[in-house]
Amino acid sequence: MTNRIFSALIVFSTAAALAAMALITLLLNRFSTERSAAELRDSCTLIATAVEQTGGDYLRRADFGGKRVTWILPGGKVIFDSETSPGLLGNHADRIEVTEAFSKGRGSSERFSATTMDTTLNYALRLNDGSVLRVSGAHPSFMRQLSTMAGPMLTLLLITGGFSLLYAFLSTKRILKPINDIDLDHPDIRKSYTELAPLLTKLRTQNGMVSRQMEELRRSRDQFSLITESMDEGFIIADPKMNILACNSAALRLLGTETLPEDNRHTIFSLNRSDGFRKCILNAMGGVSSRCILPGGKGECEIIANPVNNPDAVSGIVVLVFDVTERRQLETMRREFTSNVSHELKTPLTVIYGSADMLAGGLVKPEDVADFGKSIRGEADRLIKLIEDIVSLSKLDEDRVTEHEDVDLYELSGEILRRLSPQAEKKSVTCLLSGSKVVYNGSRTILDEIITNLCSNAIKYNKDGGIVEVKTGQSGGKTTITVSDSGIGIPPASLKRIFERFYRADKSRSRKIEGTGLGLSIVKHGAEYHGGTVSAESTPGKGSIFTVTLP
Ligand code: ADP
């Protein structure tokens, strides 16, 4: 804008100066031409009067002050010329001014000479004898006057040009200052041109609109990130060029990626470089919803990638990332559990089937029938115990709420120890109960199962003549049941696995001792059912301590 105003001012002022000079020259030329013509007319009248009064001799004597005087007879023959011998001149009847003078009494003409750049002014008068007297004088033409004035005009033009430049510079600055000073964020109509008022008013309205929309946009963006950030699932949006448009921290965590630097644009592939992820994303970009399971940051995650379909093309993808570690673990556990259950059921059933088959076939000596019967009963007992344990566990798994009541754990422990005394006596194990009366509000059945399983193990895995001690009490606002024994103990490697279903530490040794491998699982689930925990400490060869802590 500065340049345009500046150059417009320069062009305009230069053109104005040039036009003014040309006009002045033209007017001057016109004025001087008219004066010269008037002078010529006066001279012609004077000379004609003198010729008529004194005759042609006057012409030969007189000084015409640089003017050319020609005397022409009717018919056009030149009889006198102040500059050339009349004999050398041709017939003048065809000269405009001469023709006019013969017919009308007077005549005039102007003739421009391109060689001399002068205009010749002619004036002719018809004398009483019918001859014509013509006076001619050279007068500088407009072009000649213009070229004569070129030098001073150029100087003047340079001076006016300089002033114009300065003026244009200062004017441009002054004109543009109020425009340059406009604060586009807070346009003030009073401080600018009134002509700009509609524009500034519009600008102000639009500013308000833009800031309202920005605020709205900011709010929805904050809301969007608040929602996505509170999601446990990973959430990613990518454009068709694979650039990440939105990505919550759960997605980064699940895909095992560090935080992305904010200043850089990242492709979705920078989140995970695995082939599976790449294939899944490319499928979605091709317009096909796809899913895959990937080893993620700390487990496994499932990727579900959906295309955002437009009528013409895929305009991006939405990717959801789910943590499926627990689900996969549960699936594995369930699979293992089913195969373990089948295995554990099959073993006693095979024994029962074999014994029964032999009995039915009469292959057993009468004195051995009783032993076979005992063996069948023993295996049936094992089956019943296994089924009871599975039922207890599945009840706990399903979180089936049983009735809660105030249970005195001290009293319950005493009752359980009494129930287990035949088992303890068989191994000469001494069972002790210590602590105090603790009343806990919970499920009597489950609490009974917890203490029974712990005490039964403490007896089973004890040495002959060993000790089992059950202690109930309260510490730190929590109820505790501790079952310790002086038994065989648990090797450190097995200690963290004993709460798994069907896990039996030191299989060869455990096989001799009856068990299902489900007892401690029931204890753990029973404690968790009440919102509590169970922990175990053990020293192989010295004994173990199991502590159940209930809130
Ligand atoms: P089980 O029916 O085999 O006793 P549990 O789930 O009750 O199954 O126990 C799992 C394993 O933990 C047992 O097989 C045993 O090896 C070990 N264990 C449990 N309690 C004790 C204990 N008090 N002393 C030594 N080992 C134990």
| Structural domains present in the chain | 2-148 (3.30.450.20), 231-323 (3.30.450.20), 326-400 (1.10.287.130), 402-551 (3.30.565.10)
Distance from the alpha carbon of residue 457 to the mean position of ligand 1, in angstroms: 6
State whether the beta carbon of 382 lies less than 6 angstroms from ligand 1: no
C-alpha–C-alpha distance, residues 379 and 41, integer Å: 161
What are the helix (H) ranges across 361-474? 369-397, 409-419, 421-426, 444-460
Intra-chain end-to-end CA distance of the chain, in Å: 80
Atom 2 of ligand 1, nearest CA residue: 515
- Choose the residue to mutate in 468, 504, 506, 521 for probing ligand 1, maximizing ligand atoms within 8 Å of C-beta: 504
- Give the nearest ligand 1 atom to 515 CA: 2
State whether the beta carbon of 456 lies less than 6 angstroms from ligand 1: no
- Give the nearest ligand 1 atom to 458 CA: 23
Atom 13 of ligand 1, nearest CA residue: 504
40 in Cβ contact with 107 (< 8 Å):
no
- Give the nearest ligand 1 atom to 506 CA: 16
Of 464, 472, 534, 530, nearest to 498 by C-alpha is 534
Distance from the alpha carbon of residue 520 to the mean position of ligand 1, in angstroms: 7
State whether the beta carbon of 461 lies less than 6 angstroms from ligand 1: yes
Of 433, 440, 453, 438, nearest to 526 by C-alpha is 453
Distance from the alpha carbon of residue 499 to the mean position of ligand 1, in angstroms: 9
pLDDT in tens, the chain (551 residues): 778 877 887 788 788 888 888 888 888 888 888 888 898 899 999 999 998 888 888 888 888 888 899 999 998 999 999 888 888 888 998 999 999 999 999 999 988 877 777 888 999 999 999 999 999 998 877 777 778 878 888 888 888 878 878 888 888 888 888 888 888 888 777 777 888 888 888 888 898 899 999 999 999 989 988 998 899 899 999 999 999 988 998 998 888 887 765 655 688 988 888 999 999 999 999 999 999 998 866 788 999 999 998 888 889 999 999 999 888 888 888 888 888 888 888 888 998 999 999 999 988 898 989 999 998 998 898 889 888 888 888 888 777 667 889 999 999 999 999 999 999 999 999 999 999 899 999 999 899 999 999 999 999 999 999 999 999 999 888 999 999 999 999 999 889 899 988 888 866 665 677 788 889 999 999 999 999 999 999 999 999 999 999 99
Distance from the alpha carbon of residue 401 to the mean position of ligand 1, in angstroms: 27
Distance from the alpha carbon of residue 505 to the mean position of ligand 1, in angstroms: 7
What are the helix (H) ranges across 56-110? 57-61, 96-104
